[in-house]
Amino acid sequence: MGKNARNIRKAKNRRKLLGIILITGIVFFLLGFGFSYFIGNFNKGNNYTGNINKTGDAEESKNIDEKEEETKNGAEGTNDAANDSQDDEDVKPSPSVTVKEPDSLSPSNPTAPNVQKLDVKVLEQLDNKKLSWWYRPNTNNKPSTIPDDISELIGKYDGIFQGDTSKKVVYLTFDEGYENGYTPMILDALKENDVKAIFFVTGSYIDRNPDLVKRMLDEGHQVGSHTVNHPSLPDLGYEELENELLGLEEKFYEKFNAGFRYMRPPMGEYSERTLAATQQLGYKTVFWSFAYDDWYTDKIRGADYAYNKVMENLHNGAVLLLHAVSKDNAEAMDRIIKDIKAKGYEIRPFDL
């Protein structure tokens, strides 16, 4: 019994030892396998992260390179464009400027004032007898006429009363001694019909109506001198005459930075001496080939009256004198302009 018991215990101990060895082996095997798996994944993870960074750096570098290339190409393109532009400038002629024929140019006021002075020694040798302007109207729309001696006299000193009678042209001229509220209506009619005129103004008109004078200039009309105070020129001494003409231009230039080319003598009164004096100061004296008593503001006879007066006396080369103080003229102006054109006449800017 004792020997068998010992044998049984030894056998159990051997089985226990083998179990322990087996379990220990299994544990070590599992530990080894787990360790190897962990190490492998760790290295793989490091490699993956390194690849991401490397790829990102490459892409970023690639993007930078592409941008630099684009910038370089853009700069080269700009340089090429600049070179092409320079080449074009070298090859292309300057932009052409269309030079209009003199007849198609719109006349305007000079941009510099007259600086001439009267030559008194010359003027003293000339007759100062006062003359009043007049003309012979003709029927059937024939040009007006003046005596031969008067024609010769005003022609000698660049005087004007009528244009080219061989052409169907008409000139509108307005005298502006003072404002009666109708000039805006006249300007509206001129603008609507694309017609240019000339307005002869006095010193008081410039002082009291600068906005209207500016509008005349801005809308392409000419402005002429009607003297400072509207006196009869032959009644003046040399200094007064010079002041009436140059004094108005000084005032006009100060306000509008422009001078005068034409002068209309107040009341149409003149002499050889005043014609010569006007010429010496750089102006042309402007008379007229048609006028009527439209300066009476208390004689309102209606637009039809003004219209008929103008149309009955229409003729080739006509220089029409109209007073802007007339309500009749203002109300008839649009119709007058339209029917002058309908009869085949051209209303020209004053260019005589």
DSSP code per residue over 160-189 = BS---TTS-EEEEEEEESS--S-HHHHHHH
Residue 345's identity, in one-letter code, is: Y
Let me know: does 241 contact 93? Beta carbons within 8 Å.
Answer: no
- Among residues 142, 139, 156, 102, the alpha carbon closest in space to that of 270 is found at 156
Scanning 143-280, the segments in alpha helix (DSSP H) are 148-156, 183-192, 203-208, 210-218, 238-256, 272-280
| Cβ neighbours for 134, distance < 8 A, ≥ 6 positions apart | 146, 268
CA separation for the pair 172, 197 (Å, rounded):
5
CA separation for the pair 209, 202 (Å, rounded):
10
The DSSP H or E segment spanning 144 is none
CA separation for the pair 225, 110 (Å, rounded):
12
**Residues with catalytic annotation?**
175, 323
Q: Which segments of the chain are extended strands (E)?
A: 131-132, 169-176, 198-201, 222-225, 262-263, 269-270, 284-285, 318-323, 346-347
